[in-house]
Copies of this chain bind each other. A is one copy, B any other.
Amino acid sequence: MKIGKLAQLAQCTVETVRYYEREGLLAAPARTAGNFRLYGAAHIERLRFIRNCRALDMSHDEIRNLLALADRPAEGCGAVNAVFDQHIVHVDERIRELAQLKEQLSALRQRCAGEQAVDTCGILQGLAAMETEARHERHTHLG
């Protein structure tokens, strides 16, 4: 099958497929005489695995890790579980960050009741008066 069909089966674009090949996530397939990529069942499986991981917001590094581990079927899955657990931590941390953000935003929002003049708007005043904090290093690959 050619790249268009593969992309359709994996619910992504052909550009994404070629990108994954460049990134080393998907092995380069055989080519036709006319230089078109030719994929088989194994490629579908692999690409769907990747897209499923991406649907769970894993990074390419995490996915590369899982793929490498999956290629050693006889070994124990402890490392797989570790990668997965670590990603759950990433999601957890981002949720906590965003929840705290939402609290700050809600508090600010309450400072403007309705239609006032811009220079008396409680939101703008609040944004100007906030304690400027140092940028927090981001510890996850999520937003």
Contacts and interface: CB of A to CB of B under 8 A. Distances in A.
Interface of A: 10-12, 45, 48-49, 51-57, 66, 69-70, 72-78, 80-81, 84-85, 87-88, 91-92, 94-95, 98-99, 101-102, 104-106, 108-109, 112, 115-121, 123-124, 127-128, 130, 132-135, 142-143
Interface of chain A, main secondary structure: helix
Nearest to A105: B88
Copies of this protein, total: 2
Contacts of A49: 127-128
B132 A77 contact: no
Nearest to A113: B81
A98 B102 contact: no
Determine which residue in A12, A73, A77, A95 has the highest number of CB atoms from chain B within 10 A of its CB, and name it: A77
